[in-house]
Amino acid sequence: MTTGAVPTGVLTGPAGPPNPTADAEQHRRCIAEAVTRMAACGELDLPLPGAGRTRARWEALTRWAQWDLSLARLAEGHTDAIAILAELDSPDSREPPAGGGDPLWGVWAAEPPGYTLEAHRVPGGWRLSGVKPFCSGARVCTHALVSAREGTLRRLFAVEVAQPGVAALPDSWPGPGMAGSDTLDVTFDAVWAAPLGEPGAYVERPGFHHGGIGVAACWHGGARAVARTLLAASRKWDLGPHALAHLGAVDARLATVDALLDRVAAAVDADPDDKDGVAHLRAMRVRAAVEDAADDVLRRVGRALGATPLGHDAVHARAVADLTVYLRQHHAERDLADLGRAASAARLDWEDV
């Protein structure tokens, strides 16, 4: 783990472009092999959020997402887990659970309705039982930070994935979008786990909000990947004024997000511990802006190029499907309502004359 310069090659991602002829299972295996190699080579050792190199961290995530969103999803999970371990820094988390080798971490903290994962203190430690959905890297991660319920309280635990009692449900993600990220439901049957921080610490720390912007940086990379198809078409054919207008709007959107991430990264580095109390509002703003920009890129590229690249360009079709799914980590109007509520209660820079 590093808090200094980004290691050589960290922005380049895996060697070679995505294989357009790979089927879903081949693609999943390719992504698993690539992210495992990147972890072993130290390419996932990014600067920690707020350590002075936050923009480099987010740009790495964006570049990986531009290469392949499923790869970025796994890389982001690992880098987020390392940041969480460093931030909470409890005695139980100074070393990962037994497993050896080069660990590849995931963060499995989704808690949608209908799923329950319970934590129980037993002689010798803690055990988890239940089902956890949306576990990216379910069959490739060696370790995971998993949220579970201790009664009514939410608490984070570190888990060795290879131990008895952990089982990924292979048919629990039938959709094509983000299929390469191996995001499955995972069952836990009295699985040993190490608590990380106190109940509630996972979502109450400043890094929770910094990490949310890291996810948005991945969305931005996915939008770049979709936009590249329109850019390439403009250099190959005479698209006409309407398609060029869409390209101009797409370029402006992407440049605006880059400028936003530049400014916000500097703000995070200036106040990593959120002494000003604005990290939550800032993260909601950035996620809303990036989601809206990426959604607009999807819409404009589709309108400019029609069905041709969706039906004849496998890499583009996968990029569109992946981004469509990944953007739904932003909860649309629900998140916008939360942002509006926070804005109403805050003193905003733009309200003064």
Q: What pLDDT, in 10s, does the model give residues 232-244? A: 999 999 999 999 9
Identify the CATH number of the domain defined by range 102-199. Answer: 2.40.110.10
Which pLDDT band, with edges at 50, 70 and 90, does 18 fall under? low
CATH topology for 203-351 is Butyryl-CoA Dehydrogenase, subunit A; domain 3 (1.20.140)
Residues forming a β-bridge with 122:
125
Write the pLDDT tens digit of every residue in 125-156: 999 999 999 999 999 999 999 999 998 999 99
Q: Which long-range contacts (CB under 8 A, 24 or more apart) does 245-253 make?
A: 246/300, 246/301, 246/303, 246/304, 247/304, 249/296, 249/300, 250/296, 250/297, 250/300, 250/301, 251/227, 253/223, 253/293, 253/296, 253/297
Are 309 and 319 in contact, with CB atoms under 8 Å apart?
A: no
pLDDT (mean) for 221-231: 98
Which pLDDT band, with edges at 50, 70 and 90, does 267 fall under? very high
Cβ atoms within 10 A of the Cβ of 35, count?
A: 29
Least confident of 16-30, 173-187, 262-276: 16-30
pLDDT (mean) for 107-120: 95
Structural domain boundaries in the chain? 102-199, 203-351
Task: Name 124's Cβ contacts closer than 8 Å, sequence gap at least 6.
Answer: none
Q: Give the global pTM.
A: 0.92
The reported pLDDT for the residue numbered 89 is 74
The reported pLDDT for the residue numbered 5 is 36
Write the pLDDT tens digit of every residue in 39-58: 999 999 999 999 999 999 99
Which pLDDT band, with edges at 50, 70 and 90, does 20 fall under? low
